[in-house]
């Protein structure tokens, strides 16, 4: 069995990113509802606390557009098992 390695194509990657942004902008129209904005920020805070380096230190100062473009993926169903429930820290 041979493993096929796909060559990175920056033009194709940019197109894929633009399509993903378009989809997210349709899914989360601006201005964001208070509930959606707060949920994105809550989930980002959990991920930041857990050490996720993809979460910028100033995420909470982001505009609605920046939240959709950079962080709306935290609302994806695949993250619900970790992020949908309240997060409690016990020391």
Range of the domain at 47: 18-83
How many angstroms separate the Cα of 30 from the Cα of each of 24, 25, 27, 60?
Answer: 11, 8, 10, 17
Average pLDDT score, the chain: 93
Residue 5: inside a domain, yes or no?
Answer: no
| In-domain check, residue 3 | no
Mind listing the pLDDT tens digit for each residue in 11-20? 999 999 999 9
Which tens digits make up the pLDDT trace of 73-83? 999 999 999 89
Asked if pLDDT for residue 1 goes beyond 70, the answer is: no
Whether 52 maps to a domain, the answer reads: yes
Residue 13 is assigned to a structural domain of this protein:
no
pTM score above 0.75: yes
| Helices within the chain (DSSP H only) | 10-27, 34-49, 64-66, 80-83
Asked whether residue 62 is domain-assigned, the answer is yes
Give tens-digit pLDDT for 44-69. Answer: 999 999 999 999 999 999 999 999 99
**What is the number of structural domains in the chain?**
1
CA distance 85 to 80: 8
In a domain, 77, yes or no: yes
CB 6 within 8 A of CB 46: no
22 assigned to some structural domain: yes
Quick check: is 8 in a domain?
Answer: no
């Amino acid at each position: 069995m041979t493993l096929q390695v796909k060559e990175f194509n920056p033009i194709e990657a940019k197109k894929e990113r633009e399509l993903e942004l378009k989809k997210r902008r349709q899914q989360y129209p601006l201005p964001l509802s208070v509930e959606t904005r707060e949920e994105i920020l809550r989930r980002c805070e959990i991920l930041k606390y857990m050490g996720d380096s993809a979460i910028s230190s100033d995420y909470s100062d982001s505009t609605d557009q920046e939240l959709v473009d950079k962080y709306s993926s935290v609302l994806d169903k695949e993250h619900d098992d970790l992020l949908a429930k309240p997060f409690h820290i016990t020391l």
